Amino acid sequence: MASKERIQRLKEETRINILDAALQIVKHEGWQALSMRKIADVIEYTAPIIYEYFANKDAILIELTRKGYVILGKDMTAARNSYERPEQQLEAMWLAYWNFAFANKELYQVMFGVQMNCCCDMIKALPEAQVPTTLVSEAIKQLMDIEDINDEMICTKYYTFWSVVHGLVSINLLSRGFSDDVNRQVLKDTISGIIRSMKD
């Protein structure tokens, strides 16, 4: 039994090492440089061993995307749990989203297809990818006193928030934004404006 557990642990460690190596390559050389062979070189394995864990590069991208959503979900949950009022929760969650994007730039790029191709259909199927939407939608539902979380108004307000925040993040990831202070002010002003429109 101990032997089986050890083998399973080693397999999981190798899997984590492959994902860490992929992220390391991307941080130093960009997404266009990522290949199964490069990953194998970094962890000093042969390429066929990498294929035992991941069928192809897309499978690695999906797993990195899942990892990104897990982190983002935890960050946004912690932000929400710091406040009781939904308007405060919304601001805190979107600021957490913003902070995540710049603390985990490469993960954000793969999650949302910024400067690279997106495996969008597969990403939509990830349960982890639904967490940020659900967290924000629940706060919108509470703030607007709407009973059905699938109400079209909740979807519209969520999309309004996300369009602005993601747009601002993307502009800055492409190095076309202003200073961090200006960006944060634009972000806060926009979030406050959307929240006000929901209370009217």
110 and 63 within one domain: yes
Q: Write out pLDDT tens, residues 72-103.
A: 999 999 999 999 999 999 999 999 999 999 99
CB atoms within 10 A of CB 11: 12
The Cα-based distances of 36 to 41, 83, 109 in angstroms read 9, 44, 19
> What's the pLDDT score for residue 113?
78
User: For residue 155, what is the domain's CATH number?
Assistant: 1.10.357.10
Spatial contact of 72 and 132, defined as CB atoms under 8 Å apart: yes
64 and 46 within one domain: no
139 and 110 within one domain: yes
Residue 136 CA to residue 155 CA, distance in Å, equals 10
Q: Write out pLDDT tens, residues 117-152.
A: 655 667 778 899 999 999 999 999 999 999 888 889
Domain that holds residue 121: 57-199
Of 54, 72, 98, at which residue does a domain stop? 54
What is the dihedral sign for C-alpha 104, 110, 112, 116? positive
108 and 26 within one domain: no
Spatial contact of 119 and 65, defined as CB atoms under 8 Å apart: yes
61 and 7 within one domain: no
Tally of domains in the chain: 2
160 and 127 within one domain: yes
